[in-house]
Amino acid sequence: MIFLTIGTHEPFDRLVRAVDGWAARHPDVGLFAQVTPGGFQPRHMAFAHRLAPADYRARMDAARLIVAHAGMGSIITAMDRQRPILVMPRRGHLGETRNDHQWATVRRLEGTPGILVADDADALLARLDALAEGGFAGAQSLPPIAPYASDALIAAIRAAVFS
């Protein structure tokens, strides 16, 4: 099962269309998508507009691969659940989000174990094809992360709150 998520704030047609097209060519692979009500609606995948947080995590846990926009909510949740994730950044100049912060995010994340980066739809489809050939065994899981923020950040906030 592949779980596609694009966040709830804005559509991301470029990613949804690419994955939907891939789904049409791979009827043997189960896919589920979380997409926004505005924007392209999938024709070859089951989808929902909003998922309750527990449902969202369950979908991530059940997925062999998560495909997502490069939003920190999706990325941090995938890291927390130790699920492999393939991200494609929204671009500011394409009006997909407010500026190019997602592009900067993926430049930082590149090379992190368990996080695959595709800069555009072509790269994404090539990556999906390669992973599918190996039955998604090649999708490396993320190592575990600490449950909370760094001690120093927590301490700084506590100092302000309790002073």
Site of interaction with other proteins (CB under 8 A): 7-9, 50, 52-54, 71-77, 79, 98, 100-102, 104-105, 107-108, 145, 147-158, 160-163
Q: How far is the CB of 101 from other proteins (least distance, A)?
A: 5
Please tell me what DSSP assigns to residue 81: H
* Alpha-carbon Rg for the chain in angstroms: 16
Q: How far is the CB of 123 from other proteins (least distance, A)?
A: 20
Q: How far is the CB of 120 from other proteins (least distance, A)?
A: 20
Which lies closer to other proteins via its Cβ, residue 55 or residue 133? 55
Q: Which of 54, 107, 117, 61 is nearest to 85 (CA)?
A: 117
Which lies closer to other proteins via its Cβ, residue 69 or residue 127? 69
Q: How far is the CB of 21 from other proteins (least distance, A)?
A: 26
Which lies closer to other proteins via its Cβ, residue 137 or residue 146? 146
Which lies closer to other proteins via its Cβ, residue 135 or residue 143? 143
Q: How far is it, in rounded angstroms, from Cα 77 to Cα 83?
A: 9
Q: How far is the CB of 57 from other proteins (least distance, A)?
A: 9
Handedness of CA 52, 57, 61, 65 (dihedral sign): positive
Amino acid at position 41, single letter: Q
Which lies closer to other proteins via its Cβ, residue 1 or residue 154? 154
Burial of 35 (0-12, 13-18, 19+ CB in 10 A): buried
Residues with Cβ < 8 Å from 31, sequence gap 6 or more?
A: 1, 2, 3, 4, 19, 23, 44, 45, 46
